[in-house]
Amino acid sequence: MSAAEEDRVADLARKVVADHDPKSVPIQEFLGACYDAGLSWVHFPEGQGGLGVSRGLQPVADKILQGAGGPVPLGLNPMGYGMAAPTIREHAQSDDIKKQWLRPLATTEDIWCQLFSEPGAGSDLAGLATSAVPDGDEWIINGQKVWTSLAHRARWGLLLARTNPDVPKHKGLTYFVVDMHGPGVETRPLRQMTGQAEFNEVYFTDARIPDKHRLGEVGNGWNVAMTTLMNERTALGGSGSRRGAGTISEAVALWASRPHRRTPVLRDRLTQLWLRSEAQRLTAERSRASAGVGGPGPEGSIGKMVGAELNQHIYQFCMDFLGPEGILYHGYDSGSQIGEKDWQGPIQQRYLRSRANTIEGGTSEVMRNILGERILGLPGDLRADSGMPWKEIPRG
């Protein structure tokens, strides 16, 4: 990445802010201008929300755009920005389809979700049973997905389905984009311990997907899914680019707001958490820099695993610091609605929500396996179903 490229990205970001002040124009207009300028994902090709430069220049644009009051797009459309966009960019069948999906994704007009996990296929994702059967130029989908974040708001979903039960489980999968508003698609919110319902179960009953909405080749869905999962883990594991940003900033703010609750022991705990957060931030920065213009690899699992467990420790500190105040939570009103702030709320809600961090996007146990096998070169787990056709694998 050259100084000239950095200057170009910075100049484009300043022009977007000058022409579309995020403090005075609608969010979608501002984000649309970012996309048109190539600043949504600077490493994407021109015309698809990017400039074809190093992904390491994205913080240059983000600092100017968000410093002027612009939103953090990943927070508005997490599955869209973090997972769908890179998968579409790499595997969609044509540039026309890429542009059709990417711009409304970037503006957050179209929210996306990820339809991977099933009641019988969580950590063993390749064991999924949702079927896709060809019918002319379409595919007929039947099955059930679960723990699908934001499915109740999503326009499109990333769907992994089984197209061949006669081959080993990893080889019989195909990847699609499904219309979440289409016939045969039913979304049922799942109320969780926060009192909210950001997760969902989704049922497919003879739902139809045109073949042009297939991502990658038939039977190559596992490799396409790896694009999604590696980007998901990088997105989940990434911390703020500024020192002290991210979850740790909430703990520091809480500490500053209640001087009467401070003790030397709690001060020591907060200091240690701040140091761990800074180490994670620097690790994420190094990972982004090493990725260059390419996609993230298995090293993204480091940030995901460490970040998930660190979040839980930070919010546990917050609850301990609050003392009796920590049990005062009003999120269980049975009349509460599913709204735009499912992922936000008081510190008590964020503490409860953090329990999902070490499960979503791959459990910490799975992350340790990936790091052990693919980074450290340790022997893999014994897999009794290796090479066995999916239909012959015993299922409970």
Among candidate residues 118, 232, 278, 340, the one labeled active-site is 232
Query: What SS3 string covers 2-59?
Result: CHHHHHHHHHHHHHHHHHCCCCCCCHHHHHHHHHHCCCCCCCCCECCCECCCCHHHHH
Cα–Cα nearest to 111, from 143, 151, 141, 83: 151
**Which has the closest alpha carbon to 87: 216, 173, 263, 192?**
216
The DSSP secondary structure of 225-264, one letter per residue, reads HHHHHHHHHHHHH---SSTT-THHHHHHHHHHH-GGG--H
**DSSP states along 303-323:** HHHHHHHHHHHHHHHHHHHHG
Q: Classify strands 131-135 and 138-146 as parallel, antiparallel or unpaired.
A: antiparallel
Active site residue 6: no
Active site residues: 232
